[in-house]
Chain A
């Protein structure tokens, strides 16, 4: 077990390292002179020089990279070029909107998908299966932001169960915060749930064709008991892979959905930064997003070990 965790941890650190190098290279090295880029074509030479000094661009690339990483590790993400305020503060607040939204959506997606996938597999070939397949076929095709708009019209404007936008903040308590995130989370979750449901179904169907299922039936277990005690746990293994992959799509989706609900998350921040050419902010936000995705995949790897004993004894 320990060697496995160690290897995964090593993998995590290498990925983070590589990702940070890629981001740094693309943002600070590739465009040539980031300062000139940020200031635009009409900038004066001395303004560019001043900015270069301010950003520390006169130092070597390697030193800058280390300074950047070191800064991030200690919580300092530098100053936003546009607002001249610490990025860490701006990002901190917003992260606590985008990240919970993505996690909320992940939870909902799993909650919806696993039972429906199970049901479809158990009812394979019958009407229940066809219904689930039809519903998921539709669900996969729906763009989440479009669905969000429809939800807003129906539940916020017509029915008035939820507010049409804005974020109530966490200060009033967990519940009110979650309430403002509910419609967005549902919009995000449903298309992903459709995909996950299909994956669950096909993983179960494939597992049900394995030899050890036949052994279980020959022992005297009913079809139902076999499904629950033998097939399910084995089918989770491919499902876990997809859940890990899904989180990256959910983070991306969260950023898009924020536009529909006017949520003060990372999305608005980074899109504004793009139009304002504030590369420092873009760099930090992208790093954070990638960090979240890699962390979640690491947790999924750990979950694998919990489910599959073959991974634990890698001796």
Chain B
């Protein structure tokens, strides 16, 4: 008998059909990956298993866990199941822990829910459980509060809470999406180890196909609330049968068609010996606070026609450097010039040549302005802004260039999807025909199939408009696909720079090697007939 048997699971919420007749099983010690794009229903499936849905949810079908039908249980019985037989790990480690309780107390609370454990025993064992997930009491005492821990450490605590009573089933909903590549590797290794040690079944929910390839024994691909294909990992990766799965796999290993690079030797953006630092918090008002150096002596030169990438994990100084390059913040030491003129306090003529596309397709736009007005923001940079008809014409042209319908320019931003919004962001950046565009994690928030389209768009536009760009990303596969040179940044310094192919295939610096080995890889796939 399987550990978990889900039959015809159907979920309706506020009249909308969320999950349609799901069927899957899980054996002890097996890792099943539920994968799909946003909106496919993966997280809802997890919440359905734990029965933590909103009150208005209507669930039907069968969920049999270790012989018990979860849909027939009362709430108190379900509480006993949660934590005891099944545990769950969520996506956002930064907000998943109660900020006013110590981590030891939170683990002990989980243990105390077992009727056979009393308070004293729970207290004692809490430290041991934290040790199991890699938080040894000598280094991270249970008396610590969550705000004193890093993201990776907090996620370990969340895992500790989930496995404290050694449940038979563990569900992990995008557990590493918010973490750095190196931390991600550690957490995934931890999960694999726990599955092995406790003979648990693990349902891993993730949109990242490389992670799936690395971790899962079996894959179930979800699309719009249904499981479109489910089989052993190797089978799906080598010989998938469903067109949607094939589309996903293709998009994940998509390489944007890079046009022939025309490299003039003319320097466009020169960054020389740049340093930026921030004051740390001062404990006593009269003590001068120490400064944290975010960017240390960074120098590089981006020439006309270059497509350069900047790779680094969170906290490496990418954002500080980016803001300085965009002229948003001054630098303490060093210079940043565009075409020989400094970017800090730059005149409008300089600013016209330098534009940016940001990461968040939702936060990048003023919700109260129509799309036309959003795209025309940069017209502010002309001493004599173009005439009304000219403005309209150029707006329509650029919208067509990014693949949007010019008739939509009277709409508001909330009427567009994430991918469309990024197209609008690109249109906004291109309206002044800049020479250099900074893409700041521009595709990181997009689904994998949309991401592939936007990368293609960027490559096409670069050729059409003669753009040079600096593409900043934490995702090595994206950098590989869209840049021909790149730099690797760590703790405020550029540790390696050179041609993308060279660096990502044969890295010389130990940090780059570490990044590459930690990143899960999608094996070469062949599309089934």
Q: What is A's interface to B at a CB cutoff of 8 Å?
A: 3, 6-7, 10, 210-212, 214-223, 229-230, 233-234, 307-310, 313-315
In the complex the two chains form, what is the Cα distance from A220 to B79 in whole Å?
5
From B52, B145, B284, give the contact of A313 (CB < 8 A). B145
Interfacial chain B residues near A218, Cβ < 8 Å: 50, 52, 82-83, 87-88, 90, 161-162
Besides A3-B284, A218-B83, 15 other A-B contacts (C-beta < 8 A): A211-B90, A212-B95, A212-B97, A215-B98, A215-B161, A218-B50, A218-B52, A218-B87, A220-B83, A220-B84, A221-B113, A222-B79, A229-B109, A234-B98, A313-B147
Contact A219 B99 (CB under 8 A): no
In the complex the two chains form, what is the Cα distance from A7 to B286 in whole Å?
11
From A7, A211, A219, A233, give the contact of B100 (CB < 8 A). A233
Cβ of B158 within 8 Å of any chain A Cβ, yes or no, is yes
5 closest cross-chain pairs (CB), A and B: A220-B83, A211-B95, A220-B82, A218-B88, A219-B83
Contact A222 B283 (CB under 8 A): no
Cβ of B92 within 8 Å of any chain A Cβ, yes or no, is yes
Interfacial chain A residues near B96, Cβ < 8 Å: 211-212, 214-215
Interfacial chain B residues near A221, Cβ < 8 Å: 79, 109, 113
Residue of A nearest to B84 (CB): A220
Residue of A nearest to B86 (CB): A218
Cβ of B72 within 8 Å of any chain A Cβ, yes or no, is no
A218-B162, A221-B79 as given contacts; A308 in contact with B281, CB under 8 Å:
no
From B100, B164, B285, give the contact of A234 (CB < 8 A). B100
A219-B83, A219-B110, A233-B100 as given contacts; A3 in contact with B283, CB under 8 Å:
yes
Cβ of B75 within 8 Å of any chain A Cβ, yes or no, is yes
Least CB distance, A103 to chain B, in whole angstroms? 27
Cβ of B148 within 8 Å of any chain A Cβ, yes or no, is yes
In the complex the two chains form, what is the Cα distance from A149 to B110 in whole Å?
53
Interfacial chain A residues near B285, Cβ < 8 Å: 7, 10
In the complex the two chains form, what is the Cα distance from A308 to B100 in whole Å?
6
Residue of B nearest to A125 (CB): B55
From B98, B100, B147, B281, give the contact of A216 (CB < 8 A). B98
In the complex, per-residue mask of B99-131: 1 if CB is within 8 Å of any chain A CB, else 0: 111000000011001000000000000000000
Contact A234 B99 (CB under 8 A): yes
In the complex, per-residue mask of B67-90: 1 if CB is within 8 Å of any chain A CB, else 0: 000000001100111111001101
A3-B284, A234-B99, A308-B100 as given contacts; A219 in contact with B82, CB under 8 Å:
yes
Least CB distance, B138 to chain A, in whole angstroms? 20
Least CB distance, A65 to chain B, in whole angstroms? 25
Least CB distance, B93 to chain A, in whole angstroms? 9
Q: With a 10 A CB-CB cut-off, give which of A220, A221, A233, A313 has the most chain B CB atoms.
A: A220
Residue of A nearest to B281 (CB): A314
In the complex the two chains form, what is the Cα distance from A230 to B100 in whole Å?
9
In the complex the two chains form, what is the Cα distance from A221 to B100 in whole Å?
17
Interfacial chain A residues near B50, Cβ < 8 Å: 218
Interfacial chain B residues near A230, Cβ < 8 Å: 98, 101
Chain B residue total in the interface (Cβ 8 A): 35
In the complex the two chains form, what is the Cα distance from A313 to B95 in whole Å?
19
Interfacial chain B residues near A315, Cβ < 8 Å: 281, 283
In the complex the two chains form, what is the Cα distance from A6 to B285 in whole Å?
9
Least CB distance, B328 to chain A, in whole angstroms? 28
In the complex, which residues 147-191 of chain B have their Cβ closer than 8 Å to any Cβ of chain A? 147-148, 158, 161-162, 164
Residue of B nearest to A210 (CB): B95
Interfacial chain A residues near B97, Cβ < 8 Å: 212, 215
Interfacial chain B residues near A234, Cβ < 8 Å: 98-100
Interfacial chain B residues near A217, Cβ < 8 Å: 52, 82
Residue of A nearest to B94 (CB): A211
A3-B283, A218-B52 as given contacts; A310 in contact with B145, CB under 8 Å:
yes
In the complex, which residues 243-300 of chain B have their Cβ closer than 8 Å to any Cβ of chain A? 281, 283-285
Contact B284 A6 (CB under 8 A): yes
A218-B52, A218-B162, A219-B161 as given contacts; A212 in contact with B99, CB under 8 Å:
yes
From A214, A229, A308, give the contact of B90 (CB < 8 A). A214
In the complex the two chains form, what is the Cα distance from A133 to B255 in whole Å?
58
Q: With a 10 A CB-CB cut-off, give which of A216, A219, A223, A234 has the most chain B CB atoms.
A: A219
Interfacial chain B residues near A7, Cβ < 8 Å: 285
A211-B90, A310-B145 as given contacts; A220 in contact with B99, CB under 8 Å:
no
Interfacial chain B residues near A222, Cβ < 8 Å: 75-76, 79
In the complex the two chains form, what is the Cα distance from A142 to B259 in whole Å?
73
In the complex the two chains form, what is the Cα distance from A217 to B109 in whole Å?
12
In the complex, which residues 300-343 of chain B have their Cβ closer than 8 Å to any Cβ of chain A? none
In the complex, per-residue mask of B369-392: 1 if CB is within 8 Å of any chain A CB, else 0: 000000000000000000000000
Least CB distance, B242 to chain A, in whole angstroms? 32
Residue of B nearest to A217 (CB): B52
Listed by A's residue number, 23 A-B pairs whose Cβ atoms lie within 8 Å are: A3-B284, A10-B285, A211-B95, A214-B52, A215-B96, A218-B82, A218-B88, A218-B90, A218-B161, A219-B113, A219-B164, A220-B79, A221-B79, A222-B76, A222-B79, A230-B101, A234-B98, A234-B99, A309-B145, A313-B145, A313-B147, A314-B283, A315-B281
Least CB distance, A268 to chain B, in whole angstroms? 43
In the complex the two chains form, what is the Cα distance from A307 to B100 in whole Å?
7
In the complex the two chains form, what is the Cα distance from A307 to B75 in whole Å?
31
In the complex the two chains form, what is the Cα distance from A218 to B284 in whole Å?
41
Residue of B nearest to A215 (CB): B96
From B75, B76, B83, B147, give the contact of A310 (CB < 8 A). B147
Interfacial chain B residues near A10, Cβ < 8 Å: 285
In the complex the two chains form, what is the Cα distance from A217 to B97 in whole Å?
12
Interfacial chain A residues near B283, Cβ < 8 Å: 3, 314-315
Least CB distance, A234 to chain B, in whole angstroms? 6
Least CB distance, B286 to chain A, in whole angstroms? 11
Contact B284 A215 (CB under 8 A): no
Interfacial chain B residues near A219, Cβ < 8 Å: 82-83, 87, 109-110, 113, 161-162, 164
Q: With a 10 A CB-CB cut-off, give which of A6, A216, A310 has the most chain B CB atoms.
A: A216
